[in-house]
Structure 1
């Protein structure tokens, strides 16, 4: 079980560095943060070993949808668990508001089987609404939870595998590529040496393949951390209605705000889905009431009661969370 007590200042800075490049060496992070390498390595390794931070690859798919579920009373945790157990879900939240559970699903090919057979069979489901994702403005790969300087961010930025909001992988993957992806999904910081032992290839060949997977838009390496550990215990989904000609303008504007950790354009009775994390409910109120929305939106707010899955990885929640 992960303790959601807020991390110390140095630990938070290490997390911020890993958000930029989850595979950065402790030596590189220490140099950027101007801290002793041994200290950074000790704190960083403890964060990973304790499960407070996870580094994991996510494989890019052709399409994605948001599924918003209403559940029979008393079955919300069961439905959340069932969706989280699916290999194609990225995140699953229990929320307040019109829906009980909200989950993002990624897919290749058609949606018919997923929407007509699989999702309706979710335990506890009473009603479901599906929102196809039309465009990502920001994913959790691009979320920066703190205030590293522009120079530090630039020094940490990886040569390949940075933030992407769209992807078009074209090259076919072979069995070795898929094995490498599986290894990085389990541990995004797995060394080239460890991966080479699994696939029985030389380290130089594996290194080239990992770079090709990142450069070819097949995968992203994401740093997964509960916002509460960074002093941001209040999380909400904002379902934003906006006129069609203003969707891109508002999406681009909101994606630049540090409170926004995820933002997508969706098809349905809302046009944007915005995931916001803030220190308190008062801060959430200020974000909603004082953000420069203009006169062009209506929105409804769902407070996240708990996350069972983030970035394709199950979350071990602390008692009472």
Structure 2
């Protein structure tokens, strides 16, 4: 991506529509945003083919933690690469401030081996702090890189697979289900016909199982885009200390703000972790200064210097940042 590249207005509207429903047809998107279907298909396909956006499934696990790493001098890229290569991490950022690398890690079983054996062996690591995630208020599935009207949002809302902030899969995935998920991890827009051929199941069975996976809270389909391509070149993590009685109210307020991509309640010396994207550092200052933080005790800001992984996908599959 060119240093100052920003998507065109039409491209941005297509991206925002895909954020609402990553599997929406070009025809449906064209109708909702008021553009010719041929135009939407041409631009949308180019965005996908060039890797500027990625639509992919992410499998839900039972629990998650935030790993905050301090690294030995000169080893930050190595540590970031190592933790990003783990299949259980969803995002990895190189940041300023007290930490050098921040990553979200999901797991199903216990944490003992991960915390005592695996993460301490990360190359370049000098110390690590773990923040268990207690509750999600907003995930990147709900973030829109621009505005959709209520009518547009409603028209694009999928019948299954909208944003979840908690999940409890109703049944275990079968081997066939896992094959379908593997295809969707690579291409979340894969057609039923394409999935059917890759997993060697009938289209009827694939369609039924995909609907079950989405309704059963096993997976989400997410559209991943570098915020800088949408004009948001400044990203920051806000570590917020707040009185226990105010955590829920503040989390629910922050999730409604368009600058906020992600909000999670965590256990540790901060109670909330917030991912914010804005156009400039001045906008970040104004966001921090103008927000009603309620009973907040302290706010610590870490600027995101670069992302190695977003939404469970290595950023090498996306442009820049």
Aligned counterpart, 1:175: 175
Residue pair 2:131, 2:266 contacting (<8 A) in 1 also: yes
Aligned counterpart, 1:100: 100
Q: CA offset at residue 173 of structure 1? A: 1.2
Aligned counterpart, 2:293: 293
Per-residue deviation, residues 248-288 of structure 1 (Å, max 9, x unmatched): 00000000000000010000000000000000000000011
Residue pair 1:75, 1:124 contacting (<8 A) in 2 also: yes
Q: Look up the SS of the partner of 1:220 in the other structure.
A: strand
Residue pair 1:4, 1:318 contacting (<8 A) in 2 also: no
1:277 equivalent to 2:296? Answer no
Number of residue pairs aligned between Structure 1 and Structure 2 = 320
Per-residue deviation, residues 127-147 of structure 1 (Å, max 9, x unmatched): 000000000000000001111
Aligned counterpart, 2:153: 153
State the alpha-carbon separation in 1 of the partners of residues 196 and 36 from structure 2: 30
Q: CA offset at residue 2 of structure 1? A: 7.5
State the alpha-carbon separation in 2 of the partners of residues 146 and 157 from structure 1: 16
Residue pair 1:3, 1:318 contacting (<8 A) in 2 also: no
Aligned counterpart, 1:80: 80
Q: Look up the SS of the partner of 2:270 in the other structure.
A: coil
Q: Look up the SS of the partner of 1:170 in the other structure.
A: coil
C-alpha distance 186-4 of structure 1, shift in aligned 2 (>3 A): farther
Aligned counterpart, 1:124: 124
Q: Look up the SS of the partner of 1:171 in the other structure.
A: coil
Residue pair 1:2, 1:318 contacting (<8 A) in 2 also: no
Aligned 1:305-320 pairs, distance under 5 A: 305-316=305-316
TM-score, normalisation: structure 2: 0.98
State the alpha-carbon separation in 2 of the partners of residues 307 and 50 from structure 1: 19
Residue pair 1:2, 1:51 contacting (<8 A) in 2 also: no
Q: CA offset at residue 318 of structure 1? A: 5.9
Aligned 1:63-74 pairs, distance under 5 A: 63-74=63-74
State the alpha-carbon separation in 2 of the partners of residues 176 and 186 from structure 1: 16
Residue pair 2:52, 2:319 contacting (<8 A) in 1 also: no
The root-mean-square deviation of aligned C-alpha atoms, in Å, is: 1.2
Aligned counterpart, 2:188: 188
Residue pair 2:69, 2:125 contacting (<8 A) in 1 also: yes
Residue pair 2:264, 2:273 contacting (<8 A) in 1 also: yes
C-alpha distance 225-17 of structure 1, shift in aligned 2 (>3 A): same
Hey, which bits of structure 1, 4+ residues long, moved more than 2 A? Answer: 1-4, 294-297, 316-319
C-alpha distance 295-62 of structure 1, shift in aligned 2 (>3 A): closer
C-alpha distance 109-92 of structure 1, shift in aligned 2 (>3 A): same
Q: Look up the SS of the partner of 1:161 in the other structure.
A: coil
1:224 equivalent to 2:203? Answer no
Aligned counterpart, 2:137: 137
Aligned counterpart, 2:32: 32
